[in-house]
Amino acid sequence: MILGLTLSLALQTRSISVEEFFPMKPGTVWRFEEKSGRSRFEVVEVANPVMRVGEVEATPIETRIQGQLAETLYYRIQDNRVLMVAIDPRKPFEPPYPVVVGANTDRATWNFETTTNYTPEPSPHRLQGEAKLGRSARVLGQSVETLEVKLTGTIGVDGPGQVRTERIARYGKGIGLIEAKDTTVMGSQKQVRERKLIGLTLPKGSSH
């Protein structure tokens, strides 16, 4: 009876702490294999030292594809949310984009609306997200707890020029992103990219 009550309480009190699944310690390096159609690439992401972006501090995550710098995104964790603060540090988003949201339960949902200026004309950008604790998975030779995240969005008004996006991703506790599938649709054009973690290098003195 006591054991059953303990297990029941443990299940009820499972919660999502985004910091556990989205580590950003400077010096961390993630290596991925990415597939898009018949093409395969090596993608490397590096967490760089925290810097000031607008009024807040953020961690730059640098992405290199086949050794070439592709982009740098700026993130911070605040109020149990992973926020994308900027693409260009001189033009921080206001408000920042919530890409992962935690909760005091094992599932979280969120909606977000803003206007993006990263299009020829200012356009509405809408996001819907869901995060839920998943099953343990074998990642790089060890068993880790996972967080499953689905993020769907639209850019622009309804019509043939609207861009629709979807990301289905899994994050490993203490590791970060372990796999993702990104789909972008605009009119009759569709692009699918899949990414899987193949290597992780932690800064000295770190463990996961």
Instruction: Label each residue of 58-117 as H, E or C.
Output: EEEEEEEECCEEEEEEEEEEECCEEEEEECCCCCCCCCCEEEEECECCCEEEEEEEEEEC
Q: What is the identity of the amino acid at 126?
A: R
Length of the chain: 208
The beta-strand segments (E) located in 105-157 are 107-116, 123-139, 142-155
pLDDT tens, 175-187? 999 999 999 998 8
Q: What is the mean pLDDT of residues 8-28?
A: 81
Residue 87 phi/psi, 5-degree rounding, is -100, -45
Residue 91 has pLDDT above 80, yes or no: yes
pTM summary value: 0.89
Q: Tell me which residue of 53, 1, 31, 67 sits closest to 140, measured CA to CA.
A: 31
Q: Give me the chain's average pLDDT, please.
A: 91
- Nearest-angstrom CA–CA distance, 137 and 32: 17
Q: What is the pLDDT of residue 119?
A: 67
Residues 135-193 have pLDDT tens digits of 999 999 999 999 999 999 999 888 888 999 999 999 999 999 999 999 999 888 999 99
Looking at residues 80-106, what average pLDDT do you find? 95
5 pLDDT above the threshold of 60: no
Cβ contact 121:146 at 8 Å: no
Give the residue from 196, 189, 130, 126 showing the smallest Cα distance to 158.
126
Q: What domains are defined for the chain?
A: 15-201 (2.40.360)
Which position has the higher pLDDT, 10 or 203?
203
